[in-house]
Amino acid sequence: MAKLKKLKPVFDWAEVVADEKDWAASPPAALRNLLFQMYLVRRFERNLLELKKNNLIHGPVHTSIGQEAVAVGTMAALGRADGIGGTHRAHHQYLAKACSYHLAPAFDPVADEFPAALKQAMATLLAEIMGLDAGCCRGRGGSMHLCDPKIGVLGTNAIVGGGIPLAAGAAFAEKYRKSGNVVVSFFGDGATNQGAFHEALNLAGLWKLPVIYVLENNRYAVATSLAESSAAEELSVRAAGYGMTGRIVDGNDVLAVKAAIAEAAQSLRGGDAPPVFIDMKTYRDFHHAGDIPGSAFGYRSREEEQEWKERDPVETFRRDLLARGFLTETQDSQLQQLVDGLVAEATGTCVDAGAIKPALLPAPASIAEGLRGSGAEFATVRFTEPEAVPGPRKKMKYVEAIAAATGRWLEQDPSVFVLGEEVGHMTGGPYLATKGLAKRFPGRVLDTPISEAGFCGLAGGAAMNGLLPGQAGEVLKGTLLRGHVKTRWIVSSLLQYNFLFIATTLPVLVVCSLVVLASGCLPMSVSLLLFAGVLVSAVLPTVLFIWIRRGMVGDILAVIKKLPLVGRMVKDSLIEEGRKIDHEIRSVWKHRPQDFILASALLTAARFLAITEVWLILFLMNKAVPVPIAGAIFAASQVFSYVLMFLPTSFGVLEGGAKGIFKWFALDGDVGLSMELVRRIRKFFFMFVGLACLGVLAIVDPGVKKIIKTPEGGETSEEDMGDE
């Protein structure tokens, strides 16, 4: 019988606890500075809650009251050039980083003059939270999106877990430049269940990036407790899976926090140590946002809140300083008065007589700044046609051109690098888009795991920190090839509609032909009338496209639902989906009218061919058309439809005749008809043509009604009608 052999993971895991040595190593002025910063953060955020009550701040205010020691202790152990990334709850992180950047290491708040630069930083932060033009992002970021690269605030992110891959990218840039700087990524316990968290930590551990992942563990993701969201009681054990160092810290002990960060930063500055994951256990006094306790919502008790209040980081540290003689009651009062004055002064820069100063509001004309280019950015760029460029020419495949252009960028700019799935394997990936580049540029063409969210986020963080990443791989091949190939893919998919149409409508038309046979051979005039009526329906896609552009498809379906017989085929969910298509088509028409026109024309042609072929069969069954003539028309239709079908994928063979067409087809940009949208359009077209055929034949021959009559005993079921 098999035996179990116990294994132990190789994992550097420990708890950091501050002791007397940490107190002894801290100058009294530095200790008072830590208390001053925690006072400042708390007073600043309480002021935010007051401004919110007075309707001077729009949107939620997520305070960190109760968590001040995490931010202040962390920044105290970092250098001015180190960077941080935060979450939606990041006022304390921004303010503490500003303090560590602007205050001298020996600054004593009870003796030294407060620097004007830090006053300005406070005013800038407040202006941003209030949405004013003087903010660090000119009021566009608000409370949850703060960024000031000068002081090391690389960016805070309202998306849960969204900043974790970005921090990995920023750390990648620091390692790439061999700067010796580190990056700290703050996140909450809720983010540890996001896929981006795991993908980013795996990449960081794999490449040994100089990043410290700080879990600001306040025990609740909004109202969901840690016990309800995680199977692991200690979240720091997750570091073991990514080759990281794991640490646990009392997040309410500012000296323990500082010691843990100092140890981690020192190990990472050498460039070869694994990243560090630190679980800082703390507590937020209030609910997710606002100034109401969490107990008011029933997800935690008042007793629990009182227990943590007794461990309040600000009050605990204040008592310790007084007891150890590093602070007097007079100095404590002096610190609190200083903080009150600084916060009042910052508020005065934004508010006058209880209202926002009108001059600080962003100008309406600036609303689109940073969102869309005006064209002025290309004023110094010269555009030219390929034929006008001098020098030798070489004909190559499109994918070879991608590899050549990427190689040229790598040659010219040392800040460019390439990462993605298989970009360095198989001499250049499965599509050879990076052929030979890994060998030519070692260390700059990097293979990644199959973790698109992780390496895309990493690339974004690296770009934010000065590098120029290029991404490749299976998931991004459509983005790499862009307009020409992407549009051919769209065209090819639309033309496949020809065959899908035959497969979908053939049963309906066979039933129609059986009805015609059952009622006797129709005169040629009636047969031609039916044929003409169905051919007219081939134009329906273009007409429907125009209607959809006006946002009418949902209304059309709603009207059809009220009709007898056919109305039972239309479900409420179909009407709702039609309204979604209204919105998407309007977007396509607005941004890509070429795609709109192209899809209309191609779908019309494909439907015309399909209907012609199927109705030829109908005419043969009624002996209305001689067999030789029908066979010739059918063969010609097949040849033409196959030419249309394979034109997009046979561009090299048909280059002569199709060059002009595809020059128009090869549209640039990324906004176009998505495959999901094409699928929805197909479904509606199938339904409309089926209704048209049944409607026309029902008018001509009442016998059709017998076929579509509702079975006795109730309404038509989904099994009777099918999914569509």
Which residue has tokens 């996140």?
Answer: 187
Contact 139, 132 (CB under 8 A): yes
Active site residues: 284, 288, 299
The whole-angstrom separation of Cα 430 and Cα 477 is 10
Structure tokens at 523: 């005169």
DSSP 515-572: HHHHT-PPPHHHHHHHHHHHHHGGGHHHHHHHHHHTT-HHHHHHHHHTSTTGGGG--H
Q: How far apart are CA 198 and CA 242, in angstroms?
A: 9
Strand partners for 183: 83, 211
Burial class (CB in 10 A: 0-12, 13-18, 19+), 499: middle
Whether 237 and 302 have beta carbons less than 8 Å apart is answered as: no
User: By C-alpha distance, which of 190, 92, 184, 219 is closest to 143?
Assistant: 92
d(Cα 37, Cα 15) in Å, to the nearest integer? 25
The CA-atom distances, in angstroms, between 81 and each of 97, 182, 537 are: 11, 8, 68
Residue 231 contacts by C-beta under 8 Å, 6 or more apart in sequence? Answer: none
Element (H, E) at 446: strand 445-447
Q: What distances in angstroms separate CA 266 from CA 78, 98, 188, 273, one per listed residue?
A: 10, 21, 24, 10
Reference 284, options 219, 214, 192; nearest CA is 219
What gap in Å lies between CA 271 and CA 156, rounded to an integer?
A: 25
Name the E strands within 157-304.
Answer: 183-187, 211-217, 220-221, 224-225, 245-250, 276-281
Find out whether 597 and 541 touch, Cβ atoms under 8 Å: no
